């Protein structure tokens, strides 16, 4: 039987990184086995589901490249089908109407709590005949005895006793079906063979299995994947940093880096850290996913991201970098070819945001020198080399890297200085800070007029400083 998995988010917010990891595991499992991957939007909670969330989830899936073969299916368009199944259960006496009042249920609950019992429905309406015309919910008649055994692909064998489960509501008073019912009907109708989801759903599984059995169907295989923790061991949340997948894009993370990072959270293949998508598909085995929760480690994500930035096609990085420069008020069309800039910066940034930040000087004059760099390198001894470089740059025939390099060498030789004593003040003059790509590439891309203007500014700085010291 061919494999079919699904990702079934509830659109009540953005796509959380934990959800993205579940989506990825499900996707990998389908792809690995040449199966199909379904996207299902579980939007039956009309109060909390929003169109914005649906769009945010779809956008995140597209950004991550987790393509689906079927869907998106929307549960809200399947109410007729859910009702059909509920009616079938009713007819077969596998479900019943319940008109217990809120007061009764609350009193029941309080009594149970006082007796330190688990709050559960006591089956009061099981054998009553409640009129269909009066307000009621529908409850599933859970088997009173026996157990449900789940051979979870991640957690191993899990046994639930039926007498621990109560008769759950499958249709509310307002006629809307509940989560456990809709999931069962959908997984069945969509032919899902493997349910891979967060382990917060593990306690729903025996209920779903019982409904499936009542319908005379075989349950799918289950795999409940553990949650992601923050670095302090508590459940990953906003206070640990970004939890919204799209926030990672905004922070300049590449989707392949996030996927690579997420796959390693709770899954490993030897001690390898870097996996292309193809390698993930090849090596991934849902049964190798760890039972224990894993902790999010931002430093590692940045390390992986740096690897992917370094090795990516510069033209693609340029395309992705452009909006980040835009965020800094820079239009890359106003300066050197962005692809050339990327080639020079690719090894130097862990994120695209960082790359944008260290590339602004290619497009606009820096606001001020970095204090430390200026103090260290723009001293009186740097005046002569800077002046000489400036004179030569002003008349250089070809503004090319090798020619620019030669200028620095010539001035250093003439003044009997090592190259760094010329190049470093020159760098601080041209870029305003102590770090930049190689000096020749930097000069070339910054361009002649900006270089000359900025060297003049550095000379003014040096002179002012000398004057201050003299007085
Ligand atoms: N809609 C559920 C959620 O977002 C997932 C249900 C499932 O995977 O069975 O938590």
> Residues 98-131: pLDDT tens digits?
999 999 999 999 999 999 999 999 999 999 999 9
Question: In a 3-state reduction of DSSP, which class is residue 120?
Answer: coil
Residue 62, pLDDT score:
98
Cβ neighbors of 293 (< 8 A, separation 6 or more) are 226, 227, 228, 229, 266
Check whether 197 has a pLDDT greater than 90.
yes
Calculate how far, in angstroms, residue 343's C-alpha sits from the geometric centre of ligand 1: 43
Check whether 240 has a pLDDT greater than 90.
no
Q: Counting atoms of ligand 1 from 1, which one is nearest the CA of 200? A: 10
Alpha-carbon distance 132 to 171, whole Å?
13
> Residues 155-175: pLDDT tens digits?
999 999 999 999 999 999 999
Alpha-carbon distance 324 to 250, whole Å?
8
Cα–Cα distance list, 216 to 94, 120, 205, 300, 367 (Å): 11, 26, 16, 48, 72
Band of the pLDDT at 268, cuts 50, 70, 90? very high
**Is 221's C-beta closer than 6 angstroms to any atom of ligand 1?**
no
Catalytic residue among 157, 213, 238, 376: 238
> Residues 440-470: pLDDT tens digits?
999 999 999 999 999 999 999 999 998 988 7
Residue 437, pLDDT score:
97
Cβ neighbors of 126 (< 8 A, separation 6 or more) are 96, 141, 167
**Is 465's C-beta closer than 6 angstroms to any atom of ligand 1?**
no
Instruction: Give the number of other Cβ atoms within 10 Å of residue 169's Cβ.
Output: 18
Alpha-carbon distance 308 to 253, whole Å?
9
* Rounded (10°) angle between helices 314-327 and 338-345: 100
Burial 104-135 (b: 16+ CB within 10 A, else e): eeeebeeeeeeeeeeeebeeebeeeebeeeee
Name the residue of 4, 197, 200 whose CB sits within 8 Å of the most ligand 1 atoms, as the mutation to test its pocket: 197
Band of the pLDDT at 230, cuts 50, 70, 90? confident
Residue 237, pLDDT score:
83
Q: What is the mean pLDDT of residues 379-386?
A: 97
Alpha-carbon distance 82 to 176, whole Å?
9
> Residues 291-303: pLDDT tens digits?
988 898 999 999 9
**Is 183's C-beta closer than 6 angstroms to any atom of ligand 1?**
yes
Check whether 210 has a pLDDT greater than 80.
yes
**Is 38's C-beta closer than 6 angstroms to any atom of ligand 1?**
no
Q: Residue 97: beta bridge partners? A: 138
Does residue 421 have an active-site annotation? no
**Is 9's C-beta closer than 6 angstroms to any atom of ligand 1?**
yes
> Residues 15-73: pLDDT tens digits?
999 999 999 999 999 999 999 999 999 999 888 999 999 999 999 999 999 999 999 99
Check whether 357 has a pLDDT greater than 80.
yes
Calculate how far, in angstroms, residue 241's C-alpha sits from the geometric centre of ligand 1: 24
Higher-pLDDT residue of 170, 236: 170
Calculate how far, in angstroms, residue 23's C-alpha sits from the geometric centre of ligand 1: 11
Name the residue of 12, 15, 23, 42 whose CB sits within 8 Å of the most ligand 1 atoms, as the mutation to test its pocket: 42
**Is 197's C-beta closer than 6 angstroms to any atom of ligand 1?**
yes
Calculate how far, in angstroms, residue 42's C-alpha sits from the geometric centre of ligand 1: 7
Calculate how far, in angstroms, residue 195's C-alpha sits from the geometric centre of ligand 1: 10
Helix H or strand E encompassing 330: none
Give this prediction's pTM.
Answer: 0.93
Residue 470, pLDDT score:
78
Question: In a 3-state reduction of DSSP, which class is residue 374?
Answer: helix
Q: Poorest-confidence range of 77-86, 89-98, 225-234, 426-435? A: 225-234
Q: What is the mean pLDDT of residues 219-236?
A: 91
């Amino acid at each position: 039987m061919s494999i079919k998995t699904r990702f079934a988010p509830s659109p009540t917010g953005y796509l959380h990184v934990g959800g993205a990891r579940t989506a990825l595991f499900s996707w990998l499992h389908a792809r690995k086995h040449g199966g199909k991957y379904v996207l299902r939007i579980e939007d039956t909670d009309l109060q909390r589901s929003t169109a914005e969330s649906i769009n945010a989830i779809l956008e995140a899936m597209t950004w991550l490249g987790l393509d689906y073969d079927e869907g998106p299916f929307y549960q809200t368009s399947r109410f007729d089908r859910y009702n059909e199944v509920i009616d079938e259960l009713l007819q077969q006496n596998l479900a019943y109407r319940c008109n217990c009042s809120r007061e009764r249920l609350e009193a029941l609950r309080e009594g149970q709590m006082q007796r330190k019992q688990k709050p559960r429905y006591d089956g009061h309406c099981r054998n009553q005949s409640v009129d269909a015309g009066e307000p009621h919910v529908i409850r599933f008649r859970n088997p009173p005895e026996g157990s449900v055994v789940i051979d979870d692909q991640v957690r191993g064998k899990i046994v639930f006793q039926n007498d621990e489960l109560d008769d759950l509501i499958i249709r509310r008073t307002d006629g809307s079906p509940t989560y456990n019912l809709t999931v069962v009907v959908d997984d069945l109708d969509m032919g899902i063979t493997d349910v891979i989801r967060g382990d917060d759903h593990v306690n729903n599984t025996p209920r779903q299995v019982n409904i499936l059995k009542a319908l005379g169907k075989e349950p799918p295989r289950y795999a409940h994947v553990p949650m992601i923790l923050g670095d302090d061991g508590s459940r990953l949340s906003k206070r640990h940093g970004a939890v919204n997948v799209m926030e990672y894009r905004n922070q300049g993370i590449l989707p392949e880096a996030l996927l690579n990072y997420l796959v390693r959270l709770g899954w490993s293949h030897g001690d390898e850290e870097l996996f292309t998508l193809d390698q993930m598909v090849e090596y991934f085995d849902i049964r190798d996913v760890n039972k224990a929760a894993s902790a999010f480690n931002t430093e590692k994500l940045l390390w992986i991201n740096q690897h992917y930035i370094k090795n990516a096609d510069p033209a693609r990085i340029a395309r992705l970098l452009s909006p980040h420069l835009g965020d800094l008020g820079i239009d890359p069309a106003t300066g050197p070819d962005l692809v050339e800039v990327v080639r020079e910066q690719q090894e130097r940034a862990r994120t695209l945001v960082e790359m944008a930040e260290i590339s602004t000087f290619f497009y606009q004059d820096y606001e001020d020198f970095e204090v430390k760099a200026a103090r260290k390198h723009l001293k009186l001894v740097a005046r002569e080399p800077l002046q000489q470089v400036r004179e030569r740059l002003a008349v250089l025939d070809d503004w090319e890297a090798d020619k620019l390099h030669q200028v620095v060498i010539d001035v250093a030789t003439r003044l009997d200085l090592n190259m760094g004593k010329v190049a470093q003040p020159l760098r601080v003059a041209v870029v305003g800070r102590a770090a930049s790509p190689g000096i020749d590439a930097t000069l070339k891309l910054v361009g002649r007029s900006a270089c000359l203007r900025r060297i003049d500014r550095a000379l003014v700085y040096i002179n002012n400083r000398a004057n201050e010291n003299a007085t």
